[in-house]
A and B are shown apart, each in its own frame.
Chain A
Amino acid sequence: MPQKLIIIGAGMATGRALETLLETAPDAYDVTLFNAEPRGNYNRIMLSPVLAGDKTYAEIETHAAQWYADNGVTCRFGEKIASIDRGAKTVTAANGDVLAYDKLMFGTGSNPFIIPLPGHDLEGVIAYRDLEDTERMMGLGPDNKCVVIGGGLLGLEAAAGMAARGVDVTVVHIMGHLMERQLDEAAGYLLRRALVDKGITVKCSANSKEILGKDGHVRALLLDDGTKLPCDLLVMAVGIRPNVTLASEAGLAVGRGIHVDAQMVTSDADILAVGECVEHDGAIFGLVAPLYDQARVAAKTLLGEHATFVQKELSTKLKVTGCDLFSAGDFADGDGREDIVFRDPARGVYRRLVIESDVVIGAVMYGDTADSNWFFGLIRERTDIAEMRDTLIFGPAYQGGTPLDPLAAVAALSRDAEICGCNGICKGQIEDAIAAGAGDLAAIKATTKASASCGTCTGLVEQVLAVTLGDDFVLPAAASICACTDMTHEDVRRMIKSQRLTSMPAVWQECGWKTSCGCHVCRPALNFYLLADWPLVYQDDPQSRFINERKHANIQKDGTFSVVPRMWGGITTPDELRAIADAADKYAVPTVKVTGGQRIDLLGVKGEDLPAIWADLNAAGMVSGHAYSKGLRTVKTCVGTDHCRFGTQDSTGLGIKLEKTLWGSWTPHKLKLGVSGCPRNCAEATCKDIGIVCVDSGYQISIGGAAGMDVRETELLVQVATEEETIDVIKAITQAYRENARYLDRIYKWMAKVGMEWIKERVVDDLTERAALVERFELSQSIYRRDPWADHVQKRAESYQPLASLALEAAE
Chain B
Amino acid sequence: MSNWMDIAALDDVPQRGSRVVKTHAGCVAVFRTAQDEVYALNNSCPHKGGPLSEGIVHGAFVTCPLHNWVFSLETGQAQGADSGRVETHPAKVENGRILLDRSIIAARTVA
Task: Using CB atoms and an 8 Å cutoff, list the residues of chain A in contact with chain B.
Answer: 176, 184-185, 331-337, 515-520, 523-524, 542-547, 550-551, 555, 557-559, 607, 799, 802-807, 809-812
Contacts and interface: CB of A to CB of B under 8 A. Distances in A.
B14 A543 contact: yes
A515 B58 CA distance: 9
A543 B17 contact: yes
B35 A802 contact: no
A519 B79 CA distance: 13
Contact of A804 (B14, B16, B22): B22
A547 B65 contact: yes
B60 A333 contact: yes
Nearest to B95: A256
A332 B37 contact: yes
A547 B54 contact: yes
Given A543-B16, A559-B49, A332 B35 contact: yes
Contacts of A551: 54
Interface string B53-92: 0111111110101101010111101000000000000000
Given A332-B37, A546-B65, A547-B54, 16 more contacts: A185-B34, A333-B34, A334-B37, A335-B77, A516-B34, A519-B61, A542-B14, A543-B15, A551-B54, A559-B50, A802-B19, A803-B30, A804-B7, A810-B109, A811-B109, A811-B110
A807 B24 contact: yes
Closest 3 CB pairs of A and B: A335-B74, A332-B35, A520-B63
A335 B60 contact: yes
12 contacts: A334-B37, A335-B60, A335-B72, A335-B74, A336-B74, A517-B16, A520-B55, A523-B58, A555-B66, A803-B12, A811-B109, A812-B102
Contacts of A557: 48, 66
Nearest to A330: B35
Contact of A517 (B12, B49, B58, B66): B58
Given A334-B74, A557-B66, A524 B56 contact: yes
B109 A334 contact: no
B23 A806 contact: yes
B20 A803 contact: yes
Interface string B22-38: 11100100100111110
Contact of B21 (A516, A558, A802): A802
Contacts of A543: 14-17, 56-57
Given A333-B60, A803-B21, A812-B106, A176 B27 contact: no
Contacts of A517: 16, 34, 58-59
A544 B15 CA distance: 11
Nearest to A484: B58
A542 B51 CA distance: 17
* Chain A interface mostly: loop
Contact of B54 (A519, A559, A810): A559
Contacts of B19: 799, 802-803
B60 A334 contact: yes
Given A335-B74, A806-B105, A799 B8 contact: no
A544 B105 contact: no
Nearest to A805: B22
Contact of B73 (A335, A544, A799): A335
Contacts of A516: 34, 59
Contacts of B48: 557
Given A524-B56, A803-B30, A811 B17 contact: no
A516 B8 CA distance: 27
B104 A806 contact: yes
Contacts of A607: 51, 54
A333 B49 CA distance: 26
Nearest to A524: B56
Given A516-B59, A524-B56, A331 B35 contact: yes
Contacts of A515: 58-59
Given A520-B55, A812-B102, A337 B60 contact: yes
Contacts of A812: 102, 105-106
B106 A811 contact: yes
A802 B27 contact: yes
A304 B50 CA distance: 63
Nearest to B63: A520
A675 B53 CA distance: 40
Given A333-B37, A804-B7, A518 B22 contact: no
Nearest to B108: A811
The CB with the most chain B CB atoms within 10 A, among A334, A550, A810, is that of A334
Nearest to B17: A543
Nearest to B5: A806
A802 B21 CA distance: 6
The CB with the most chain A CB atoms within 10 A, among B8, B61, B65, is that of B65
Contacts of A518: 58
A520 B58 contact: yes
A335 B33 CA distance: 12
A804 B13 CA distance: 11
A342 B58 CA distance: 19
Contacts of A520: 55-56, 58, 63, 68, 70
A185 B16 CA distance: 13
Contacts of B22: 802, 804-807
A332 B8 CA distance: 21
B23 A807 contact: yes
A749 to B, nearest CB: 21
B56 A544 contact: yes
B63 A184 contact: no
Nearest to A517: B34
Contacts of B77: 335
A86 to B, nearest CB: 29
Contacts of B57: 543
A631 to B, nearest CB: 18
B106 to A, nearest CB: 4
A810 B54 CA distance: 28
Contacts of B54: 547, 550-551, 555, 559, 607
Contacts of A807: 22-24
A519 B80 CA distance: 14
A516 B5 CA distance: 31
B55 A811 contact: no
B35 to A, nearest CB: 4
B77 to A, nearest CB: 8
A515 B23 CA distance: 35
B21 A546 contact: no
A807 B21 CA distance: 9
A555 B53 CA distance: 12
A204 to B, nearest CB: 13
B8 A803 contact: yes
B17 A806 contact: no
A332 B31 CA distance: 14
